[in-house]
Structure 1
Amino acid sequence: MSKDVRVRVSPRPPPSSGADLVTVSTRPEPGSRVALEIEVPSPEVDRHFATAYSHLAERTRVPGFRPGKAPRHLIDRYAGRASVVAEAIDHLVAASYDAALDQTDLIPIDQPDVQIEAGQVTEGSPVTFTATVSVRPEVALGDYYDYAFDIERKPVTDDDVDAVLTEMREGQATLRPIDGRAAQDGDVAAVKFTGTIDGKPFEGGSADRLPLVIGEGRMIAGWEEQLVGMGIGEAKEFDVTFPDDYRVEEVRGKLAHFEVELLDLRERILPQLDDEFAKAVGEVESLEALRAEIRDALEKRGEAEARHLFGDRIIDYATANSSVELPEVMIANEVEIMRDELRARLAQQRIGLDQYLALAKQSPEELLAELRDPASRRVKTLLVLSAIAEREGIDATDAEIDAEAADQLSRYGDEPKLREYLGSRRGRSYLRMTLRNQKLVEHLINRKLGTDGPVATASASPASTGSE
């Protein structure tokens, strides 16, 4: 009787000794799937049975023996022979599947479906089983080089430099109480207000003391303008309509009445724009040197942004000209990833996913359906980039993957779960894909601009081959 097994790829790094622990042959199956016929030699089978007995001995209570010390025949009696075989199969399949992948150039995109005859799994005998896995589909690449557009660079102007200087001066500004004049744009005000809609208060419509800079647009359109001309202690009433696209649906497009009192008013005093200011805010000796430093920074940032946008256009062009049948499993996985990304962004705003769905009046199923189209586009883009990278001979080396993993661990505090993931086949495959795509886009940009240099390529070693 065969046993169907759903295998999780081992979280440990793939073996790098080069020893062939299993024998494997492959045959194509419909729907971008491949069946791996895997034969495990008897010494390996015995090793996995030993592991199974060891683990079960720790978990099984046997009278007269401490955990882990009971002999095998008592483990068979108290845990059951079927439990021993099942445990051995779990270890055998996971390890042997990894070892089999190391001998192929397959790129799995999902966990394998495994068929194994449990009754044939015994110590001292080789074991054969079948693992059928979805693999990356073939991409029919179109043109990705002969496009009509070019990089678009925006020159840095004196006004751009002046805008940065103004921001720097505002960051160094001091506040001085205003005496004898009314409020105007740019003043820092403190206000008390109460808002109502149809005579009823609404959530977020009142505050006892709210600081704001008049004219910066913190409040809805038309609200801050009403403060211009008011004096400290003065009260005022006015009506303002909420925009139709306001984030809170209940007040969209509604007319609100506000009663406002100006509690405090201060003006920002900006420092003089001179050499002394330049010395205070930067490691320069003059204002002209500070201007030159700002211009250089703006030009570098502008170049990086232009290259990024240019790269995006190249990717869009290449993706539009290529065709590929998208596997459902890749779309489903990407939808889950995009949902998790949304959850993470919401968490940064202290908003739960359930709360977001309630505000959006959307069910979890409707959210997944909404994410399907962008997930499909992302999957196609990744597949096209992978195909172009193969054609161009661009890959990430093991050394680059190791360096990126080390960098991530240093940035995120060497978190144990992250270390485990980055050391797994799946984690290394993700790093490889990310680094390779970055190198590919830079290569395509540089080639178009005539600045292409040699691109390091990697021989696809077992440690850098995995699902993408």
Structure 2
Amino acid sequence: MVEANKIDSANSIIKAKIDSKILEEKKKKIAKEIAKKAKIQGFRPGKVPVKVVEKMYAEEIKRDAISEAVKEVLDEGIKQLGANEIIGEPQVIKFDEKEDGIDVEIKVFTKPEVNIDDSYKECVPDVTLPEVSEEEIEEELKKIAKQFAESKVVDKESLEKGDVAVIDFKGYIDSKPMENGSAESYPLEIGSGSFIEGFEEQLIGMKVGESKKIKVKFPENYGAKEIAGKEAEFDVTLQEIQEKVPAEINDDLAKKYMNDENATLETLKNYIKDSILQRKKAETFAPLKEQILECLVEKYNFDLPENIVDQEVDVIIGNEAAKLTPAEIKELQENPEKLKEFREKFVDEAKNRVKLTFIIDVIAKKENVSVNDEELTQILYYEALMQGQNPTEYIKQVQEQGLIPVLKMNLIQEKLLNKLLEDKVKGE
């Protein structure tokens, strides 16, 4: 007899007594199936006596019979509940074997009933976007002009910070020439920090044609271990002084920067204006997104599947455990009461995260917001490049770790929040 009851709209319990007679019938049926296929020495294929099979495969037959009976209980219980979408694996919370059968209780978890009308829009605050000034555009143009600056020889009395020093140098450690420690006519921008700390500063004030000994010490963590932490001396001669002259701000600069022969200065200005606007929009939206999420969590209440909440608690604990000392982790492992207290600290946070996932899912469907596989792949590809990893291997690794659904939901949430705020900007 199977009895299914809802604890709430997302959690249910199925109870049943699996009669020993039913189990015996299933065991006989399974034994007969095995007998048809079993290859046992001394018997022809398909002619193995059932009694022999029952004896040889007793444990396997019993396990399969119980598994089949429990599945039938589960199927019948789900049918009684009228549950359409089961979430996660059912949990057997009671399994009591007796002479007359097995008492079993199974918890099942379903997608919660989330009823959301258009009132979610009340959580979206008014948005005022800052304007982009001409001064900001001009400032960006100057930065771009500096990027395309050209070095030109200048007649200066002495070298200053910001100048380009064209130098000959030879390096020595313990009075012996350094391997790859010399160069001629090397252009070094003073203040760029491209040489060892202290080197560039000692060049300031040198005159063209002047030679000077520069003493520096390589850092302890320097890449080349054979010279890490050692003192070095460089013979340096200043051949000439150059200044970086920013490129002219005109159509040619626009063509170079945008890599477009049809670009004009006006095109570049519009591009810069849009870039600044997008940056300001992101800065304006960021705190408002947190505000929207907090409002949605407070606004809606519904039952949550316990297994999903437990999984989220595990994720949070996994992250928190990384911050603990080995001694603290050991204490939690050895003290069940403390571990329980530690776990309970994160239950509310886990519930809010799970609740938000269901809310976002419903609202995203209402707003026709989704993320397709192509978009996800592009983002993962970009992330891989930013981390200096092989994109194909990185994507495969993310897939193997089962992170695709989480990443997809995060992207949907981001797209949805942007859309809600964009609509508010437009006054919709």
TM-score, structure 1 normalization: 0.49
The residue matched to 2:363 in structure 1 has which SS? Answer: coil
| Other-structure match for 1:333 | 314
| Other-structure match for 2:133 | 157
CA distance in 2, matches of 1:395, 1:72: 61
- In angstroms, what is the RMSD of aligned CA positions? 6.6
CA distance in 2, matches of 1:160, 1:182: 32
| Other-structure match for 2:274 | 296
CA distance in 2, matches of 1:264, 1:64: 96
Given that 2:94 and 2:105 are in contact with CA atoms closer than 8 Å, whether structure 1 keeps it comes out as yes
Given that 1:214 and 1:227 are in contact with CA atoms closer than 8 Å, whether structure 2 keeps it comes out as no
The residue matched to 2:130 in structure 1 has which SS? Answer: coil
The residue matched to 1:131 in structure 2 has which SS? Answer: strand
CA distance in 2, matches of 1:394, 1:92: 40
For residue 81 of structure 1, report the CA deviation from its aligned partner. 2.0
CA distance in 2, matches of 1:138, 1:34: 14
| Other-structure match for 1:275 | 251
For residue 338 of structure 1, report the CA deviation from its aligned partner. 3.6
For residue 28 of structure 1, report the CA deviation from its aligned partner. 1.6
For residue 82 of structure 1, report the CA deviation from its aligned partner. 1.7
- With CA pairs under 8 Å and 6+ residues apart, which has the higher RCO, 1 or 2? 1
CA distance in 1, matches of 2:46, 2:146: 73
For residue 450 of structure 1, report the CA deviation from its aligned partner. 6.2
CA pair 183-377 structure 1, distance change in 2 beyond 3 A: farther
CA distance in 2, matches of 1:309, 1:146: 16
Is 1:365 the counterpart of 2:329? The answer is yes
**Equivalent residue runs for 1:75-224 within 5 Å:** 76-78=54-56, 80-87=57-64, 89=66, 103-104=82-83, 112-116=91-95, 129-132=104-107, 150-151=126-127, 153-173=129-149, 181-185=158-162, 187=164, 214-215=190-191
CA distance in 2, matches of 1:449, 1:308: 14
Is 1:314 the counterpart of 2:295? The answer is no
Given that 1:175 and 1:267 are in contact with CA atoms closer than 8 Å, whether structure 2 keeps it comes out as yes
Q: Deviations over 1:10-41 (max 9, x none)?
A: xxxxxxxxxxxxx8833328xx964234899x
Which of the pair has more CA radius of gyration?
2
For residue 138 of structure 1, report the CA deviation from its aligned partner. 11
For residue 290 of structure 1, report the CA deviation from its aligned partner. 1.2
Is 1:394 the counterpart of 2:363? The answer is yes
Given that 1:189 and 1:263 are in contact with CA atoms closer than 8 Å, whether structure 2 keeps it comes out as no
For residue 378 of structure 1, report the CA deviation from its aligned partner. 5.3
Aligned counterpart in structure 2 of residue 385 of structure 1, from 356, 372, 384: 356
Given that 2:199 and 2:214 are in contact with CA atoms closer than 8 Å, whether structure 1 keeps it comes out as no
The residue matched to 1:155 in structure 2 has which SS? Answer: coil
How many residues were matched structurally?
Answer: 357
Letter of the 2:363 counterpart: I
The residue matched to 1:394 in structure 2 has which SS? Answer: helix
CA distance in 1, matches of 2:245, 2:75: 67
CA pair 208-108 structure 1, distance change in 2 beyond 3 A: farther
| Other-structure match for 1:5 | none
| Other-structure match for 2:4 | 25
| Other-structure match for 1:404 | 372
Given that 1:34 and 1:134 are in contact with CA atoms closer than 8 Å, whether structure 2 keeps it comes out as yes
For residue 286 of structure 1, report the CA deviation from its aligned partner. 1.9
Given that 1:235 and 1:261 are in contact with CA atoms closer than 8 Å, whether structure 2 keeps it comes out as yes
CA distance in 1, matches of 2:347, 2:235: 53
CA pair 257-128 structure 1, distance change in 2 beyond 3 A: same
CA distance in 1, matches of 2:5, 2:163: 71
For residue 396 of structure 1, report the CA deviation from its aligned partner. 3.9
Letter of the 1:329 counterpart: D
Identity %: 16
Aligned counterpart in structure 1 of residue 417 of structure 2, from 441, 444, 449: 441
